[in-house]
A and B are shown apart, each in its own frame.
Chain A
C-alpha cells in the first residue's frame, strides 16, 4: 500500500454497473522526500475507489493491483486502486 495525498474527487457520468454509487478520489502517490514535506507532490495522479470518505489533503493508504479488488470478495469489481486507510499521523525518521 503506497501513501498518497488526496487532491480532489472524480465524478462519473457513465460507468460499469458494479461501480454505481461508488466514490472516487484523485490522489498522488508520494516519494520518500515528498513524504517528509507533502506540500507539493509531483507524481502522476491516480483515481482511488474510496469508501472511507477521505477529504482533500488527507494522506491515504492506497492498495493497488489484485489486492484492491479483494475487499469486495466474493463480488467482482473492476477496481485496481482502493483506499485502505486514512492516515492520521506519519512519523518519518529524518536521520535515515
Chain B
C-alpha cells in the first residue's frame, strides 16, 4: 500500500470493459516526508469518494482489485483503500 495525494481526475470512454462506471483519479505517491512526490503519478479506481487534494491510501493488490471490480480479467492495478481524516491545522 502507498500513501498518496489525489492530484487530479481523468475521464476515458474507450477503455477496458471492467473500468466502465468507475471513477478514475490521478494519485501521486508521496515520500516519507508526506510532501515530496515519489515516482510517477498513477491512475486509481475509487469508490470511497476521494476528492482532488485529499490524502489517501492506495493498494496495488491485484487479487483484491479483481474482487473489488468483480472481474477476473481486469487490468486495474491501483485502488483507493482508505481516506485520511483531515489533520487539525
Contacts and interface: CB of A to CB of B under 8 A. Distances in A.
Interface of A: 1-3, 29-32, 35, 43, 52, 61, 63-68, 70-73, 82, 84-93, 96
B76 A73 contact: no
Using C-beta atoms within 8 Å of the partner chain, give the interface range for chain B.
20 to 34
Given A32-B7, A67-B75, A71-B73, A3 B13 contact: no
Interface string B51-73: 01100000000100110000011
B26 A35 contact: yes
Contact of B73 (A2, A73, A86): A73
Contacts of B76: 1, 63, 67, 84
Nearest to A84: B75
A63 B75 contact: yes
Interface of B: 5, 7-16, 19, 24, 26, 28, 37, 40-43, 52-53, 62, 65-66, 72-78
Contact of B8 (A52, A70, A92): A92
A1 B76 CA distance: 7
30 contacts: A1-B43, A1-B78, A3-B40, A30-B40, A31-B37, A31-B41, A32-B7, A32-B41, A61-B10, A61-B43, A66-B62, A67-B76, A70-B72, A70-B75, A71-B74, A72-B73, A73-B72, A73-B73, A82-B75, A84-B16, A84-B75, A86-B12, A86-B14, A86-B15, A88-B12, A88-B13, A91-B8, A91-B52, A92-B8, A96-B7
